[in-house]
Copies of this chain bind each other. A is one copy, B any other.
Amino acid sequence: MYVNHLLFWVKMIKTPAFKGISFFLSLLLSHFKSAMENCTIIFDYYERVYDRALTDSERELINNIFRRETIKKKQIIFGSGEINTRHYFVAKGLLRLYVVDAAGKEFNILFAIENQWIGDLATPDETLFYLDAIEKSVVYSVTDENLNILTNNFSSFVSYLKKAYIFLQKRLVSILINTAEENYEELRISHPELLKRLPQYHISSYLGVTPVFLSKILAKRARKKD
C-alpha cells in the first residue's frame, strides 16, 4: 500500500501544464550534484514499479528530493503534535506507526518492512501518530511539500481522497482505543443531528457493539444525570 508516484511526476513535469514550476526544479537539480549511488534502492524501486530504466535526470531528481536516514532501534522518527512529517520508504528494517492513548497505552496502526511506504497521509497537518523503528532501519524520506509542489494542479481530488483516508483512520483509532461508551459520547458531541435521526440499532452497529449493549450504555447515562 501507500504512494509510489515519483516517476509519474517526473513524466508530468515535462507537459506544458507544468512549465510554470520548472524553475523550481532547476533549483533543486542544481544542488547536491554528488552521490549518485546514494539512492540505488529507490531507483530499483521505481524501475520495478515502472518496468523500465530511469533516465539520468530522473535519477538526479530522486537524489535531490530523497534523504537517506539510518534509524536506530526504538528511535522515534516523529511524534504526535508534529507538523509537516515526512513520508518514509523502508530500504532495510521495520518501522511502525502508532498512536498513544491518554493512559500511555500504544496502538499500532501500520507496519512497514523493506520496499514499503509508511508515514501519516494527514501531513502537513499536525499528526496524531508516532513513527519509530522496531529494527535498526535504513529509510529514504521525502517531504510532503516536495511532492505537493508537483501536484498542486490536481490537489482538489487528492485532498478529498486524503480526507476520506483520514476520516477512516480516525475511526479505526477510536475503535481501537475507546470503549463503546466513549465512542458514543464522541458521536453525540460531533454529530448530534445524525444521532437523532438514526435508529439506535444502526448506531450500535456503527460503534461495533450490539443494540442490547448500547441500550445498557444509555440506561446508565440516564441514571447518572439524576
Q: In this assembly, does A107 line the interface, its C-beta being within 8 Å of a C-beta of chain B? A: yes
Q: Which one, B2, B98, B169, contacts A205 given CB within 8 A?
A: B98
Query: When the two chains form their complex, are residues A3 and B202 in contact, meaning their CB atoms are under 8 A apart?
Result: no
Q: In this assembly, does A34 line the interface, its C-beta being within 8 Å of a C-beta of chain B? A: no
Q: In this assembly, does A111 line the interface, its C-beta being within 8 Å of a C-beta of chain B? A: yes
Q: How far is the CA of A12 from the CA of B168 in the complex (A)?
A: 28
CB closest residue in chain B, given A109: B206
**A interface: dominant SS:** helix
Counting chain A residues whose Cβ lies within 8 A of the other chain, the interface size class is 35 or more
Question: What distance in Å separates the Cβ of A202 from its nearest Cβ neighbour in chain B?
Answer: 6
Q: In this assembly, does A32 line the interface, its C-beta being within 8 Å of a C-beta of chain B? A: no
Contacts of A151 in B (CB 8 A): 157
Q: In this assembly, does A8 line the interface, its C-beta being within 8 Å of a C-beta of chain B? A: yes
Q: In this assembly, does A76 line the interface, its C-beta being within 8 Å of a C-beta of chain B? A: no
Q: In this assembly, does A30 line the interface, its C-beta being within 8 Å of a C-beta of chain B? A: no
Query: When the two chains form their complex, are residues B4 and A160 in contact, meaning their CB atoms are under 8 A apart?
Result: yes
Query: When the two chains form their complex, are residues A176 and B111 in contact, meaning their CB atoms are under 8 A apart?
Result: no
Query: When the two chains form their complex, are residues B108 and A206 in contact, meaning their CB atoms are under 8 A apart?
Result: yes
Contacts of A107 in B (CB 8 A): 205, 208
CB closest residue in chain B, given A112: B194
Query: When the two chains form their complex, are residues B5 and A96 in contact, meaning their CB atoms are under 8 A apart?
Result: no
Besides A16-B16, A107-B205, 12 other CB < 8 A contacts? A5-B160, A15-B17, A16-B17, A94-B197, A113-B193, A134-B199, A151-B157, A168-B168, A168-B169, A172-B175, A175-B175, A176-B208
